[in-house]
Structure 1
Amino acid sequence: MNKYTKAAFTYAAIVTLGGFVFGLDAAVISGTLKYIAIEFALDDMQIGNVVSAPALGVLIALVVTGVICEAFGRKKTLILIALLYIVSAITSAIAPSYETLVAARFLGGLAFTSLSLASMYIGEIAPSDQRGKLVSMNQIMIVVGLTTAYFSNYMLVNIADGESSWLNEQGLWRWMLAMEIVPALIWGILLTFIPESPRWFMSKNREQQARASLAKLMPTEKIDSEISAIKESIENDKPSEDDGSIWQQIKQLTSAKFRLAILVGVIFAAVQPLTGVNPILFYAPLVFEQTGIGTNAAFAQSLIIGVVSFVFTALAIVLVDRIGRRPLVNGGLIASVVCLMMCVTAFYQASYTLEQDDVIQLTSTTEITAEQLAPLLNQTFDSDTEFKDAAIAAMGKSVFRAHSSEIIQSVISINAMLVLFGVIGFIAAFHLSIGPIMWVVFSEIVPTQIRGVAIPMFAFISSTISYFMQKFFPWQLKHMGSGDIFLSYAIAGIVGLYLLYRYLPETKNCSIEQVEALLAAKAKG
C-alpha cells in the first residue's frame, strides 16, 4: 500500500468515525428503554418516540444537507454534524424529563446525515479499485459503535446488579447515554485534519485547491488526468442553460439519463430498512425478552448481535471488491428471508401458560401478588398479544411493564434457539450484503452533478421508513405480535430481492464516470 492509498484510508477512517458515533447512539438507547419507561411512566407510543426521535431529526436535516454541503463543502458540514452529536449526547444524559430527552435525541438525529455525507465524501476521494472497501468502512464503524454500545450497556447493567455498586438503576440509563460524549468530541477534533473533496472544489471552479487536495491522494503525474476526468464529467452533466445550482440538480433527477440510477437508489433505500434491521438492533434486549430468557440474558445475547455485525461487515469489506455487489446483495437477501422465517415459525408455534409453580416463583421474586395472577392461572394463550392483553387487564399496565421480562420468562413455551439463530443469521446476512453495500452503491451510481441532492434524497427515503418502523415497533409488538412483525420483514426481503436482482448493475472496479456511462447505456437499452 503506497502513501497515497494510506492517506485515503486515513481520511476515510476519520470520516467514518461518525459512523461509530451513530452506531453507539443508535444501539445504546436499546438498553435504556426499561429504565426510562419506569422513571417517566411512558406508554408504548412514547417509548417509540424516544427511540425514533433521531430518525425524525434526520428527516429534517436531509432536506437541507445537500444545500449546506454544496454551499460550504463536505468538510465544514461534517464538523457541524460532530458538534450536533456532542450537544445531543450531553443533553440526553442529563435530561430531566421525557420531553427533554426526546428533544435531545431529535437534535442528535440532525447529525445522522453523517452517514450519507461520509459515503459521498469517501466516494469522491477514494481510488476506484479501493472505493468499495473505503465506503464500506462507514458500515463497519457503525457496527463497531453498535457493538461498543451493547458491551457498555451489559457492563453497566452488571455493575448496577452488584451488591455494593455505586451505580443504581435510577441513574443507569444516564450513564449509558453519556458513553457517547467522548467519541463525539474526538471525532470533531480529527475532522479538522481531513482535506476538502477535490470534486467539490472543481464544481465550484476552484481548480488550484482541487489540485492541492488531489496531491494528498495521488502522485503528481496523475493529477492532470484526474482533473480532466472530473471536468469532463461535470461538463457532460451540466445543462448549457444553467450553472448547475442545487435547484438545477433537483430538476435533473427526472432526466432520462439519470433515471436508472435514481430507480436503483430508491429501491435500495426502501428495501434496507423494510427488512427490519433497525427495530431489531434498536430494541434488541426487548426482542430477546419476548423469548422468555430474562433481562440479563437478553443483554448478553445482544452482545452476540454486535460481534456478528462486526465480523460479517468486515467480511463484506473483504469481498465487495472481489466478488462484486450483485452476488453479495442477492445472496444476502435470500439468507435474510430464510432467517426471518425461522423467527416467524418459532413465534407462531409459541404458547403462554401460567401454572401454580410460576405463581409461587413470581410472587417470591417480584412485587406481583397471587391475586393479580389468579385470572391467568392455568390458561393457555396461543399468541403473545392475547397473553399480554390478559396480563395487563389482570395486574395493570405499570406492574406488567415493570416485570414483563420475569412474567414472560415464566409462562412462555417457545423454541428460543430458533429465534436466536434466526435473528443472528439475519444480522449476519444483512451486514454481509445490503447493510454496507447500500452506501457503496449510492457512492457509485450517482453522477457528480446530482450527488449533492440524490444521495441525501436516498438517505431521506431510507430514514423516513426507518423512522416509522422504529416509532411503531412497541405498538406493533403489542397489537400485531412478534410472529406477524417478522413475517412483514420477510415479505419486504422477498420483494427487495426481486427488484434488486432485476435492476441493480455490477459496478465493481468502475470509476464514477464509467458507472455513469454504464447506467446511461443500460437506460437506453
Structure 2
Amino acid sequence: MDAVVKKEIQAAHPRAAIVTTCILAALAGLMFGLDIGVISGATQFIQADFKVSDRTIEWIVSSMMAGAAMGALAAGWMSAALGRKRSLILAGVLFIAGSLFCAVAGSATILIVARFVLGLAIGVATFTAPLYLAEVAPEKIRGAMISTYQLMITTGILLAFLSDTAFSSSGNWRWMLGVIAVPGVLFLAGLFFLPDSPRWLLLRGRRQDAEVVLARLRGDEGAVRKEIDDIEEQLKTRQHGWSMFRENRNFRRSVGLGVLLQAMQQFTGMNVVMYYAPRIFKDMGYDTHAQMWFTAAVGLTNVLATLIAFAFVDRLGRKPILYAGFAIMAVGLGVVGTMMGLGINSRGEQFFTVGMLLLFIVGFAMSAGPLIWTLCSEVQPLQGRDFGIACSTFTNWVTNMIVGATFLTLLSGIGNAQTFWLYAALNGIFIGITLWLVPETKNVTLEQIERNLMSGKPLRKIGQ
C-alpha cells in the first residue's frame, strides 16, 4: 500500500465520511418519494386548469412510471459504463429539468412529456442509489443504510403531501410540481462531494483510486486491504444473467418469482392511494381543504408504519409479516368499498372510512412495501443477480404505470365500491400466493438459498 493511501488513512474521519456519503446517496430516495407524492395534490387543479378528462389525468400521472421503466432499463448499463456517481449526477440533472419543465408546461401533452423526463431520472436513481449504498457502506451498517434509503422514499412522499397542502389554498399546481426542484438542486450539489464506488473503480482497473476512496471511508489499513481483496474475489464471479435465463430452468423460476412479487406489490392498490388520495377523500364527502390534510395523514402513516418492518423483519421473518400485511390490506380496502357502497352520510362514517384507509396504509408499509424488495434480491443466484433484479425492477414500474393509468377509469366504469373490492380481493389472493410460492429467508444465507434453488427445490422451500 503506497504512501498516498497511508496519508489518506491518517487524515481520514471514517464515521463522518460514511454518514455524509450515505445520507447524500439516500437523498435519491427522497427525490423518488417527492415525485410520487407531488402529483397527488396537483391533479384536481391541473384538470380544472387544462379542462381535461380523467383519462388524460391518468396519462399525466402514469407517464412518470413509463419514464422510470425506461430509466431503470438503461441504468444498469449507465452505472457500469459511467459509474455510480456520474449516473446519479445525470439523474439529478434530469430531475431538476423535469421538475421545472412540469412547472411551466403550457398543455397537458407537454406536462406528460415533462413527467416522462422526471420518470427517467427516478428510474436511474432508484436503480443506482441502493447499488451505490451497498458498495460504499461498511458491512456492519449496510442494512441500516439501505433501510434509510427506503425510509427517505416515504419521507419524500410525506413532504410532497405537506407541500401540496400548503399550496392548495391558492390552487397553484405549478408551484406544487416545480418546488421539488429545490431538493433536487441540493442533491445534485452534494453529489459532487461523493467518492466513486470502490467496486466500480476496481471494475475499471483503477486499484489505487479504489484504495484511496476506501482509505477515506474506512480509516484502517487492514480493513482497506481486506475489502479490496474481497471485492476482487467477488469480481471473479461474472454476471451471466441472460445466458443463464435461456439455459437454466431454475434461474427462470427465481426471475419469475421476482417479477410476480413486484406485480403483487403494485396490485395491492397502494399507489392508487398515493396518486389519487385527494380524489378518494373527495368521494368520501370531504372538501378540498380536508382532502389535502387527510392526504398528508396518509403520508405520515406511511412513514411511521415503515418502521414496523425495520423492527420485526429479522425477528418474525418475511412470510408472517406478509400474511399479516395482505390480510390487513384486504380488510381495510374491503371495508372502504363497503362504506362507499352503502353511502357515507355522517361525520362518524367519514372518519371511520378514513381510518380503514389508513389501516390499509399500515398494512402495506409494514409488509409488501419494504419486504418485496428484500425478497427480490435474496432469491436471485449470484451470477444472475443483476439480471434478475433488473427484471423485477422493470416489472415494478410497468405494473405501477398500469395501476396509475386505470384507477379513474375503473371508478367511472364499475364504481367506487367495486373498485376497492377488486383490490381487496387481490390482496386476499396474494395471501394464497405467498403460502404457495414465497420462501421464508430469515436467517438463511444467500448461498444456501442459491443451492436450494439450483437443486430444484420448490420455490417456497428454497429458504429451508
Q: TM class, shorter-chain normalised?
A: 0.7 to 0.9
Paired letter, 1:210? A
User: 1-side partners of 2:216 and 2:421: how far apart?
Assistant: 49
CA distance, structure 1, for counterparts of residue 320 and residue 234 of structure 2: 29
Q: 2:255–2:391: 8 Å Cα contact kept in structure 1?
A: no
**Once structures 1 and 2 are overlaid, which stretch shifts more, 263-272 or 251-260?**
251-260
Map of 1:361 onto structure 2: none
Q: Distance in 2 between matches of 1:48 and 1:297?
A: 23
Alpha-carbon deviations, 1:268-320, whole Å to 9, x = none? 21111110111111111101111112221111111110111111123333444
1:249 is aligned to: 241
Deviations along 1:6-49, one digit per CA (max 9) or x if unpaired, are: 64443232112122112112211111111111111101110101
Post-superposition CA distance 1:186-221 (Å, at most 9, x none)? 111112222333333344444433333433444432
Question: Which amino acid in the other structure matches residue 520 of structure 1?
Answer: R
**Matched residue of 1:53: which SS?**
helix
The answer to whether the 8 Å contact 1:59/1:464 transfers is: yes
Conserved? CA contact 2:298–2:361, under 8 Å: yes
Q: Write the distance in 1 (CA, Å) between the matches of 2:383 and 2:430.
A: 28
CA positional deviation for 1:480: 1.7
Q: Which moved more, 1:19-28 or 1:192-201?
A: 192-201
> 1:132/1:501 Cα in 2 relative to 1: closer, same or farther (>3 Å)?
farther
CA contact (8 A) 2:262 2:372 kept: yes
Contact 2:381 2:450 in 1 (8 A): no
Q: Distance in 1 between matches of 2:326 and 2:383?
A: 31
The CA distance in 2 between the partners of 1:442 and 1:249, in whole Å, is 15
Unaligned residue ranges in structure 1 (runs of 5+): 161-168, 239-243, 352-410
- What's the CA shift for 1:347? 2.1
The alignment's TM-score, normalised by the length of structure 2, stands at 0.86
Q: How far apart in 1 are the matches of 2:448 and 2:235?
A: 13
- Cα 1:70/1:420, change in 2 over 3 Å: same
- When residues 312 and 331 of structure 1 are mapped into structure 2, their CA distance, relative to the original with a 3 A threshold, is same
Q: Aligned partners of 1:270 and 1:11: how far apart in 2?
A: 32
Match of residue 15 from structure 1:
25
Q: 1:148 and 2:140 equivalent?
A: no
- 2:110 maps to 1:100: yes
Residues 202-211 or 136-145, more deviating = 202-211
1:64 is displaced (CA, Å) by 1.6
2:211 match: 211
Deviation, 1:94, is 1.0
CA distance in 2, matches of 1:16, 1:509: 26
Residue aligning to 1:221: 222
Matching of residue 486 in structure 1 with residue 434 in structure 2 = no
- The structure-2 alpha-carbon separation of the partners of 1:35 and 1:466, relative to structure 1 and needing over 3 Å to count, comes to same
CA distances 1:81-134 after superposition (whole Å, capped 9, x unpaired): 111000001111111111111111111010121123222222333444433322
Asked if the contact 2:76–2:127 (Cα under 8 Å) also holds between the matched residues in 1, the reply is: no
Written as runs of structure 1 = structure 2, the 5 A alignment for 1:16-31 is 16-31=26-41
- Whole-angstrom distance in 1 between the partners of 2:397 and 2:153: 15
The answer as to whether partners of 2:72 and 2:126 remain within 8 angstroms in 1 is: no
**Alpha-carbon shift at residue 229 of structure 1 (Å):** 3.5
After superposition, residues 301-316 of structure 1 pair within 5 angstroms as 301-316=294-309
CA distance in 2 between partners of 1:227 and 1:505 (Å):
33
SS at match of 2:52: coil
Q: Which moved more, 1:66-75 or 1:282-291?
A: 66-75
Report the AA paired with residue 199 of structure 1: R
1:437 corresponds to which residue? 371
Tell me which amino acid in the other structure corresponds to 2:164. Answer: N
| CA gap 1:341/1:253 in 2 versus in 1, 3 angstroms | same
Structural RMSD (CA): 2.7
Contact 2:14 2:216 survives alignment (8 Å): yes
Q: Distance in 1 between matches of 2:443 and 2:20?
A: 21
Query: What letter is aligned with 1:25?
Result: D
Residue 179 of structure 2 corresponds to which residue in structure 1?
Answer: 179
Counterpart-to-counterpart distance in 2, 1:480 and 1:196: 52
1:287 aligns with 2:280: yes
The equivalent of 2:195 in structure 1 is 195
CA drift of 1:259 comes to: 4.4
Structure 1 residue aligned with 2:387, among 432, 445, 453?
Answer: 453
Equivalent runs, 1:92-131 vs 2, <5 Å: 92-113=102-123, 114-131=125-142
2: CA distance, partners of 1:32 / 1:77: 29
Tell whether 2:343 aligns with 1:350: yes
Identify the match of residue 266 of structure 1 among 259, 263, 282: 259
**Radius of gyration: which is bigger?**
1
Matched, 1:334 2:317: no
- Give distance in 1, aligned partners of 2:224 and 2:366: 35
- With over 3 angstroms needed to count, the CA separation of the structure-2 counterparts of 1:68 and 1:482, relative to structure 1, is same
Give the C-alpha shift of residue 454 in structure 1: 3.0
Rounded to whole Å, the distance in 2 between the matches of 1:497 and 1:74 is 37
> 1:339 deviation in Å?
1.6
Distance 1:30 1:200, change over 3 A: same
Taking the aligned partners of 1:506 and 1:227, their CA distance within structure 2 comes to 32
Amino acid at match of 1:194: L
The separation in 2 between residues aligned to 1:444 and 1:53, in whole angstroms, is 30
The structure-2 alpha-carbon separation of the partners of 1:112 and 1:347, relative to structure 1 and needing over 3 Å to count, comes to: same
Paired position in structure 2 for 1:298? 291
Cα offset for 1:80? 0.5
- Partner of 2:192: helix, strand, or coil? helix
What percentage of aligned pairs have identical amino acids?
Answer: 30
- Between the aligned partners of 2:249 and 2:139, the Cα distance in structure 1 is 25
Q: Report the alpha carbon displacement of residue 504 of structure 1 after superposing the two structures with TM.
A: 4.0
Distance 2:416 2:448 in 1: 45
Q: Quick one: structure 1 residues 516 and 484, their matched pair in 2 at CA, closer, same or farther if it must change by over 3 Å?
A: farther
Q: How far did residue 57 of structure 1 move?
A: 0.9
The residue type paired with residue 189 of structure 2 is I
Any conservation in 2 of the 1:264–1:500 contact (CA below 8 Å)? no
Amino acid of the residue matched to residue 243 of structure 2? K
User: Which of 62, 67, 84 in structure 2 is aligned with 1:52?
Assistant: 62
- Whether the 8 Å contact between 1:58 and 1:463 is mirrored in structure 2 is yes
Distance in 1, Cα, partners of 2:93 & 2:449: 39
Structure 1 residue 256: deviation in Å?
A: 5.0
C-alpha deviation, 1:350, in angstroms: 2.3
Determine helix, strand or coil for the equivalent of 1:230: helix
